[in-house]
Amino acid sequence: MSLVKFSHTIFAMPFALIGFVLGTSHTQLSGWHTTIQSPTAGDLFQQVFLETGWVRKLLLVLVCMVTARSAAMAFNRYLDRSFDAKNPRTAIREIPAGIISANSALRFVILNCLLFVTATYFINDICFFLSPVALFVILFYSYTKRFTPLCHLVLGLGLSLAPIGAYLAVTGRFDILPVLFSFAVICWVSGFDVIYALQDVEFDQSQQLYSIPSVLGKAKALRVSELLHLGSSVCVVAAGIYGGFHWLYWTGIGVFVGMLIYQHSIVKPNDLSKVNIAFMTANGIASVVFALFVIGDLLLM
């Protein structure tokens, strides 16, 4: 759990659930309001999830989320073990500290990849055939810091597969709305990963590792992060307009954008003492609360 930072699942999982519920709303949910007079949340759960087998598919989506993310994180720790050992901030991580062997971590990666592909096989054909593509993206990220400062965008791309992947699991097709949510995730994750990378500017420069902060400097990197988060805000607003959402959704946007503004207000180029609050707390609240309001809007409005 510590090796793969399981608590960080809080970032992508809520967006996967948005994609899943969005997919159900575009299939079997499309008319449930007319089949039940004055429906309650309990009625919805009974009709849609218990009677149509969505529980099985939801469990498979959750398995895919956990195994894909675990494989990606463990592979990153495996590949970066020599750098982590040299960096005082990361030397306490499990592999350089000798708590978990490198070979054990690699076996864990392989096991999770196999479980991920197996789970996609039981979902539908398109998820199964695209599973190697998804694995390539999330594993390839670990190499990118060695040759490009755009590594943050690759990380964002990996996590952005959550909403569109869950939507594909339900519907078996692509659509504009989940893609807009995926673009929102790319910009959002890339933006806060830039903030997180501010902690290692000097180390990255000494090891010829690339990141936006190590190339542009801390002040300019924060400006880039702000632009990325502005892009994320534009995407969720565009999704709200395109999807015809109601007041619950827009309330969720208020919280999401508010948390983005908050994290930029507490992190300064000359004061990184609150980076972890911005990274974990603000973004955790942003994703969970936003997802609750979006799902509530889809199910109840």
Q: Are 279 and 192 in contact (CB under 8 A)?
A: yes
Structure confidence by residue, pLDDT tens digits, 104-163 = 999 999 999 999 999 999 999 999 999 999 999 999 999 999 999 999 999 999 999 999
Q: Are 48 and 295 in contact (CB under 8 A)?
A: no
Residues near 210 by beta carbon (within 8 Å), at least 6 away in sequence:
144, 145, 146, 147, 148, 149, 151, 204
Q: In the numeric block, which tokens belong to residue 81?
A: 């073990």
Residue 32 has pLDDT above 50, yes or no: no
Distances in Å between the Cα of 280 and the Cα atoms of 224, 260, 297 are 19, 12, 26
With respect to CATH, is domain 6-300 assigned 1.10.357.140? yes
Q: What is the DSSP letter of 8?
A: G
- pLDDT for 5 equals 77
Amino acid letter, 198: L
Amino acid letter, 33: H
Q: What percent of the chain has pLDDT over 90?
A: 81
Structure confidence by residue, pLDDT tens digits, 178-188 = 999 999 999 99
- pTM, to two decimals: 0.90
Query: What is the rounded average pLDDT of the residues 50-61?
Result: 78
- pLDDT for 1 equals 79
Q: How far apart are CA 225 and CA 190, in angstroms?
A: 7
Structure confidence by residue, pLDDT tens digits, 63-80 = 999 999 999 999 999 999
| Window from 17-21, 244-248, 274-278 with minimum mean pLDDT | 274-278
- pLDDT for 243 equals 93
Residue 253 has pLDDT above 70, yes or no: yes
Quote the mean pLDDT of the chain: 90
Residue 41 has pLDDT above 70, yes or no: no
User: What pLDDT band is residue 31 in, cutting at 50, 70 and 90?
Assistant: very low
Q: Are 155 and 177 in contact (CB under 8 A)?
A: no
